[in-house]
Amino acid sequence: MKGLKPTLAAAAALLALGTAAVAQAPAPAQAPAQAGERGWPSQLVRIVVPFSAGSITDNLARILADKLSELWKQQVIVENRPGLPGTTSAAKAPPDGYTLMLTSNGHTVAGTVNKNIQFDPVKDFVGVSKVASVPLVAIVPPDLAVRSLADFVALAKDKPGKLNFSSAGVASSSFLGSELMKQGAAIDIVHVPYKGVPEAVTAVIRNDAQLYFAPIPNAQELATSGKVRMIAINSNSRSAKLPDLPTVKETVPAYDYDSWFAVLAPAGTPGAVVSKVNADIARVLKMPEAIEKLDALGAVPSPGTPQALDAQLVRETEFYAKVLRDAGVGIN
């Protein structure tokens, strides 16, 4: 029995540890979640944005980074790495929760439009949380003889192949939103991709293109100055900001498009960390200051579960692959 008694030194060590030792004793059923929430983050967290500074994606990431830094008492930085290199770096990062990525729904078409892709858009990532949806407004040149989307569809059917729609590129929301409308309305309009949003908008102002889908703040500003006309919004219901503007769905019933933005993490990131980040993003999206900043971008908070986001990634990757094939767009 003597050998079972703690030595005086050992007893003193235990006494010195005090309640800290008790606090660190694991509770079997809840240990993983508690460990993830208590021990993470213990260092800087990166949010990779595969878009340039000043983009909607970048602005959303900075809103999150600012508030998550406050919640976590750790620095959260935004790292802009435009294009495939940014997404690749996030996919290959250690799955420890210290690298996250905020991207758009264009992520779902990456494997369809790029030949030398070095990651799987679905298998190499785990969903963390949707962040926001950004309704887009269909704008046309002010001197185009249309007052509604129904007028535009009628004009396009009367002049097949004669009208153009501009976009910021094949993987952009402006392209996907327009292409879905084109296919749903069964019209023949020509896609003209531009380097970026400013060039695509300028094309409509100059009447080089006759249609573009722009975020609400941009569309409102251009329409107020008389540079464009707004004819529809692509949300499923009318916007409180533009209650008199019909939805695309009112003219094209089959239309269903969500221009979403979400946070992903490298596959293999601990579930406890994913759950914590998901819960804290939901907290941020309820903060008045964050809501105000999102509203200024024309963004609507849309948090959700990691599981729902994972399912959406799978579903939309398959769906948009078909949309792009039907549009004659494939691996380049």
Q: What is the pLDDT of residues 15-33, one digit of tens each?
A: 343 433 333 444 443 333 3
State whether 80 and 92 are in the same domain.
yes
The pair of structure tokens assigned to 69 is 């830094």
- Residue finishing a domain among 234, 251, 268: 251
The pair of structure tokens assigned to 91 is 């996919």
Nearest Cα residue to 327 out of 113, 121, 114:
113
User: Inter-axis angle of helices 216-224 and 197-205, to 10 degrees?
Assistant: 30
pLDDT single digits (tens) 191-243 = 999 988 899 999 999 999 999 999 999 999 999 999 999 999 999 999 999 99
- Residue finishing a domain among 204, 224, 251: 251
- Rounded to two decimals, the pTM is 0.83
- Is position 5 within any domain? no
Question: Count of domains in the chain?
Answer: 2
Q: How far is CA 116 from CA 85, 102, 113, 119, 121, in A?
A: 11, 22, 10, 9, 13
Q: What is the CATH number of the domain that holds 281?
A: 3.40.190.150
- Is position 83 within any domain? yes
pLDDT single digits (tens) 231-289 = 999 999 999 999 999 999 999 999 999 999 999 999 999 999 999 999 999 999 999 99
- Is position 6 within any domain? no
State whether 91 and 226 are in the same domain.
no
State whether 300 and 229 are in the same domain.
no
Q: What is the CATH number of the domain that holds 194?
A: 3.40.190.10
* Residue 229: domain span: 136-251
Identify the pLDDT of residue 197: 87
pLDDT single digits (tens) 280-318 = 999 999 999 999 999 999 999 999 999 999 999 999 999
- Is position 30 within any domain? no
- Is position 276 within any domain? yes
State whether 127 and 267 are in the same domain.
yes
State whether 123 and 141 are in the same domain.
no
State whether 233 and 183 are in the same domain.
yes
State whether 170 and 243 are in the same domain.
yes
Q: Where are the beta strands (DSSP E) in 19-72?
A: 45-49
With a cut of 90, say whether residue 39 has pLDDT above it.
no
State whether 116 and 221 are in the same domain.
no
- Is position 118 within any domain? yes
Q: In the chain, what is the straight-line distance between the N-terminal and C-terminal CA atoms, in Å?
A: 77
- Residue finishing a domain among 251, 275, 305: 251
